[in-house]
Amino acid sequence: MNETPTIQVRGSAMVRTEPDEALLWITLTKVDAPGPALADVSARSRTLVTMLDELEIPSAHRTTTGVSVSEEVEHTNRGRRSLGHRATTRVVLRLTDPELIGELVSRVAGELDAGIEGPQWRVALDNPIRLEAAREAARDAERKARAYAEGLGAQLGRPLRLTEPEGRHFARAGAWVAAGGGDLDTVPIDPGEHEVIASIEVTFALEPDDGRA
């Protein structure tokens, strides 16, 4: 029994779109004796909560990702020397308004002496642009397979197998760490456009060329 000849191709597509949201990490830290260090971080954390409430950032969009108190040491020629204990808490926020992100960055850096990382922009999983990218990837696979078939003197048959490799999307992520006191100007934030990439592997049957156009 003769097996049906096949060809396997990978179709890819990239579509650009504005992101749906950004992640912003805020870190509060203090080095002191264990109790005072934790008390300082706790007090600033409460101030941060008040600030987020004032800016109307929903509690569902805030996640505390860690609280720690650990000894900091340095190694010298005379051995190990304790520098105190570092208390740290980290909060990640999901935000959508670039102006709000800029205002928040400036306030937490100036008023809370906080470290900031982000924004890391994301395209939502349910954004319709992802389906558009998937359709374009499927069309790309068919175009490639048809070109290969024509080059081999065959006709492209029906698709036999479709596999979607583990997908991912690319987003430019601005990142910085800011800390300091005093009044700071609002940081300008521009989300720009970001890439959504889709990929699919398709196995097509190949049929003999019957000479028809």
Token match 């109790």: residue?
35
Decide if 201 is inside a domain.
yes
% the chain with pLDDT above 90: 75
If asked whether residues 111 and 160 sit together in one domain, one would say: no
165 and 211 part of one domain = yes
Are both 44 and 102 inside the same structural domain? yes
Asked if the structure places residue 78 within a domain, the reply is no
* pLDDT at 173 (0 to 100): 40
Could you tell me if 102 and 143 lie in one domain?
no
User: Closest by alpha carbon to 171, among 152, 197, 148?
Assistant: 197
User: Does any domain span residue 90?
Assistant: yes
Looking at the structure, tell me whether residues 14 and 25 fall in a common domain.
no
Q: How many domains does the chain contain in total? A: 2
Place of tokens 């979607």: 164
Continuous segment of H or E residues that includes residue 150:
helix 129-151
Contacts for 53-58: CB closer than 8 Å, 24+ residues apart: 55/100, 55/103, 55/104, 57/93, 57/95, 57/100, 57/104
Span 110-134, mean pLDDT? 94
**pLDDT band per the 50, 70, 90 thresholds, residue 24:** very high
- Same structural domain for residues 156 and 196? yes
Mean pLDDT, range 202-211, rounded to an integer: 86
Q: Are 200 and 174 in contact (CB under 8 A)?
A: no
The pTM of the whole model exceeds 0.85: no
Q: Is residue 178 part of a domain?
A: no
Q: Is the Cβ–Cβ distance between 193 and 125 less than 8 Å?
A: no
In a domain, 177, yes or no: no
Percent helix, strand, coil in the chain, to 5, is: 30, 45, 25
Is the residue at 182 inside a domain?
no
Judge whether 151 lies within some domain.
yes
Residues 58, 99 share a domain: yes
* Start-to-end CA span in the chain (Å): 29
Are the C-beta atoms of 24 and 95 separated by less than 8 Å?
yes
In a domain, 56, yes or no: yes
**Which residue in the block uniquely carries the two structure tokens 């670039």?**
98
Domain that holds residue 7: 1-19+126-171+192-213
128 preceded by cis ω (within 30°)? no
pLDDT at 82: 80
Q: Are residues 3 and 56 in the same domain?
A: no
Regarding whether 40 and 3 lie in a shared domain, the answer is: no
Q: How far apart are CA 26 and CA 94, in angstroms?
A: 11
- CATH number of the domain bearing residue 25: 3.30.70.120
What mean pLDDT comes out for the span 107-131? 94
Question: Is residue 41 over pLDDT 50?
Answer: yes
- Helix 34-54 and helix 98-112: axis angle, to 10°? 150
| 110 and 160 inside one domain | no
Shared domain check, 105 and 163: no
Closest CA to 121 of 37, 38, 189: 189
Same domain, 26 and 110: yes
139-192 pLDDT per residue, tens: 999 999 999 999 999 999 999 999 998 754 444 443 343 444 444 577 888 899
User: In this structure, what CATH number is given to the domain that contains residue 154?
Assistant: 3.30.110.170
